[in-house]
């Protein structure tokens, strides 16, 4: 056993233990900040955890692969958390059943808007073809979007970054936007943020209102289905 702090670092920096601890610790700090500001939109815990950990990795020269060795245990829980959305859906089934028609229409129209707007805007901004393709599925949850991206031959890791940025932007913007527009229907507010910003939007919706959270969860799940079908069609129609 060496007492040299450098060799201790060399050992620890390769273990999942350190990076899992860093992920949880930074998140606990970011979440406490968010709570202290009364869940202010700009105190978004995902955003602040993300840049703090990224800065720490860059300062210590740690590769993302090494970091992910520890963080994968957290990442894995995205799947079970999606399954767990069945519980709030079940508990609010009567409110949901009443709104089934507005949900389905808003799902198709919103999903088409998300895909068409990002493809046309990215082309208008003169982004290269590979980047346009990688941004197309940005409104669905990370694992699904990366799958779509791979099937298009795009850069799946860029898609993951676009997905997270989209989620954070939607989660920050939704509350001030909806308040300013005087929209008080939390079903509609939740559904919109779940569709535009998947799980990060859903997490935000649960912070604001339980019903908004349920509708966001439904929008996120349904959008994963519709986007998988619409992205290949939109890409063939809009990109030649």
Partner 1 sequence: MIASLCLILLCQLAGEIFVRALALPMPGPVIGMMILLALLLARDRLGWLARGPLQGGGVEAGASGLLAHLSLLFVPAGVGIVQKLDLLAAHGLAIAAVLAISVLLTLLVTVATFLLVGRLMARGQPDEQPSERPMP
d(CA 114, CA 226) in angstroms, rounded, equals 11
Query: Toward partner 1, which CB reaches closer, 47 or 211?
Result: 47
Query: Toward partner 1, which CB reaches closer, 7 or 117?
Result: 117
Three-state secondary structure call for residue 223: helix
Query: Toward partner 1, which CB reaches closer, 7 or 148?
Result: 148
The residue among 123, 141, 143 whose CA lies nearest residue 132 is 123
State the minimum distance, in angstroms, from the CB of residue 84 to partner 1.
Answer: 4
State the minimum distance, in angstroms, from the CB of residue 4 to partner 1.
Answer: 28
State the minimum distance, in angstroms, from the CB of residue 231 to partner 1.
Answer: 10
Angle, helices 186-208 vs 210-238, to 10°: value is 110
The radius of gyration of the chain's CA atoms, rounded to the nearest angstrom, is: 19
Query: Toward partner 1, which CB reaches closer, 18 or 224?
Result: 224
Distances (CA, A) of 228 to 34, 62, 133, 222: 33, 34, 13, 10
Query: Toward partner 1, which CB reaches closer, 7 or 150?
Result: 150
State the minimum distance, in angstroms, from the CB of residue 152 to partner 1.
Answer: 12
Which segments of 37-126 does DSSP mark as H helices, in order? 45-60, 64-76, 78-84, 86-91, 93-98, 100-124
Cα dihedral value 54, 78, 140, 189, nearest 10: -100
State the minimum distance, in angstroms, from the CB of residue 9 to partner 1.
Answer: 19
Query: Toward partner 1, which CB reaches closer, 1 or 197?
Result: 197
State the minimum distance, in angstroms, from the CB of residue 68 to partner 1.
Answer: 6
Interacting residues of 94 by C-beta distance below 8 A, sequence separation 6+: none
State the minimum distance, in angstroms, from the CB of residue 3 to partner 1.
Answer: 31
Cα dihedral value 175, 181, 187, 191, nearest 10: -70
Query: Toward partner 1, which CB reaches closer, 4 or 125?
Result: 125
Within a 10 A sphere around the Cβ of 119, how many other Cβ atoms?
20
Cβ(192)–Cβ(110) below 8 Å: yes
């Amino acid at each position: 056993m060496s007492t040299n702090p450098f060799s201790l670092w060399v050992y620890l920096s390769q273990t999942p233990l350190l990076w899992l601890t860093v992920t949880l610790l930074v998140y606990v700090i970011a979440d406490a900040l968010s709570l202290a500001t009364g869940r202010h939109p700009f105190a978004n815990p995902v955003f602040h955890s993300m840049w703090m950990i990224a800065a720490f990795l860059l300062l210590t020269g740690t590769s993302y692969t090494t970091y992910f060795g520890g963080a994968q245990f957290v990442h894995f829980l995205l799947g079970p958390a999606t399954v767990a959305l069945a519980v709030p859906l079940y508990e609010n089934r009567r409110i949901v059943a009443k709104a089934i028609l507005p949900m389905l229409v808003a799902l198709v129209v919103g999903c088409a808007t998300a895909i068409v707007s990002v493809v046309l805007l990215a082309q208008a901004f003169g982004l290269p073809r590979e980047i346009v393709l990688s941004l197309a599925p940005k409104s669905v949850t990370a694992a699904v979007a990366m799958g779509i991206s791979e099937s298009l031959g795009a850069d799946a890791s860029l898609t993951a970054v676009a997905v997270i940025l989209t989620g954070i932007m939607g989660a920050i913007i939704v509350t001030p936007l909806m308040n300013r527009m005087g929209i008080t229907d939390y079903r509609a507010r939740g559904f919109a943020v779940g569709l535009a910003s998947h799980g990060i939007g859903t997490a935000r919706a649960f912070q604001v209102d339980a019903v908004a959270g349920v509708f966001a969860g439904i929008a996120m799940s349904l959008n994963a289905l519709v986007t998988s079908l619409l992205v290949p069609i939109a890409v063939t129609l809009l990109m030649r």
